[in-house]
Amino acid sequence: MQIKRISVIDLGTNTFNLLVAEYGGTEKPKILHRSKYPTKIGKGGINSNRITEEAIDRAKNAFDSIDKISKAHDVDKSIAFATSAIRTAENGADFVNMLQNKYKVTIEIISGDREAELIYTGTKNAIDLNHESIAILDIGGGSNEIIIANEKKIFWKKSYPLGMTRLLEKFNPSDPIQKGEIKTIETYLKEQLTDLIEAIELHSVKTLIGSSGSFDTFKQILLAEGQHLNGLPETQFEIKLKDFFRLHQKFINSTLEERQVIKGMDPVRVELMVIASIFINYLVKETGFSKLYQSSYSLKEGALYDFIEQNINSAEVSSTQVK
């Protein structure tokens, strides 16, 4: 078949992510390029449902680079997805139209359910799932998607408007965060996540797989400390619970300045890691998860595999049937 070059653009709340891949009918697409841009489009306006002018300027700068890289790779098709901060912003549609007109790319504003489905597709192509029910958590800036599934199907999914940028701007914690502030945040999470805890108990889930963002940062910090993949694929990393709890304590006891110099810390996550760690810690405590993994694939990889399945592989099957 003719080789296809595809660029996938994930317009997240904290970062815009670009993935360029090549697919020639082989088992897996070949990743040619990855890059991310700290647009922080939710900053300063996410809880008032507005994208600020400063955020729009950061988005334009990011798209200048994304456009150049896509053209340099001579892509056949670009697909782009806008998530929580954009879908809930009053000026989200205008923002998307501006980007589409300026850069000649079609951007789909996707629902939380669609986002969850793509995250599942990405994760199951990174980690060999089996019959066991597992939970997949994608911690975003605007929303968190949680999926309960196995290798064959999704049993339960939901998108919560509890992203780290939303929570950070809602609670505006001290630096370092105080114990009373942690308790206030956990009380709020308990109120919001009752149905999730029930679903996890119903499906007897013991394993949590975290995709993207904050989980990538946990992995990078642990690798910087000298840990290894321990025979797992590069797309899968086990975060031992003792290491998670140790880093959790480190984060909640640290100042912003102290987190900036932690080896492996993603600069985009410095402000958000305390809230993210509290969120994960709450889930682990409430559910009794016994295993914690990081998946290197998330929404953009899921969108890539979904596009290939829906538009390339299905077209080839139809062509064969016609012949």
For 71-83, the pLDDT digits (tens) are 999 999 999 999 9
| 215 pLDDT tier (thresholds 50, 70, 90) | very high
Residue 314 in this model has a pLDDT that exceeds 70: no
* Residue corresponding to tokens 């996540």: 193
DSSP string, 62-98: HHHHHHHHHHHTT-SEEEEEE-HHHHH-TTHHHHHHH
Say what the pLDDT of residue 313 is.
63
State in words which class domain 127-296 has: alpha beta
Spatial separation of the C-alpha atoms in residues 36 and 157, rounded to whole Å: 27
- 233: pLDDT strictly greater than 90: no
Q: What is the residue-averaged pLDDT of the chain? A: 93
Helices 273-287 & 213-224 angle (0-180, nearest 10): 100
pLDDT over 60 (residue 318): no
**How many C-beta atoms lie closer than 10 Å to residue 259's C-beta?**
20
> Of the given ranges (141-150, 162-171, 229-238, 253-262), which has the lowest mean pLDDT?
229-238
Higher pLDDT, 77 or 230: 77
Domain boundaries, the chain: 4-111, 127-296
Using the predicted structure, report yes or no on whether residue 100 has a pLDDT greater than 60. yes
pLDDT computed for residue 316 by the predictor? 53
Q: How far from chain centre, in Å, is Cα 283?
A: 17
Residue 323: pLDDT over 70: no
Average pLDDT over residues 241-252: 98
Q: How far apart are CA 35 and CA 218, in angstroms?
A: 19
pLDDT of res. 230: 73
**CA–CA distance from 95 to each of 11, 67, 87, 231 (Å)?**
11, 17, 10, 44
Q: Give the model confidence (pLDDT) of 125-146 as tens digits.
A: 999 999 999 999 999 999 999 9
pLDDT (tens digit, 9 = 90+) per residue, 135-183? 999 999 999 999 999 999 999 999 999 999 999 999 999 999 999 999 9
With a pLDDT cut of 90, the percent of the chain lying above it is 89
CATH number assigned to the domain covering 4-111: 3.30.420.40
pLDDT band at 95 (very low <50, low <70, confident <90, very high): very high
pTM score > 0.85 for this model? yes
pLDDT of residue 3: 66
Predicted local confidence at residue 104, as pLDDT? 93
Residue 321 has pLDDT above 90, yes or no: no
Question: Do residues 279 and 189 touch, judged by C-beta distance below 8 A?
Answer: yes
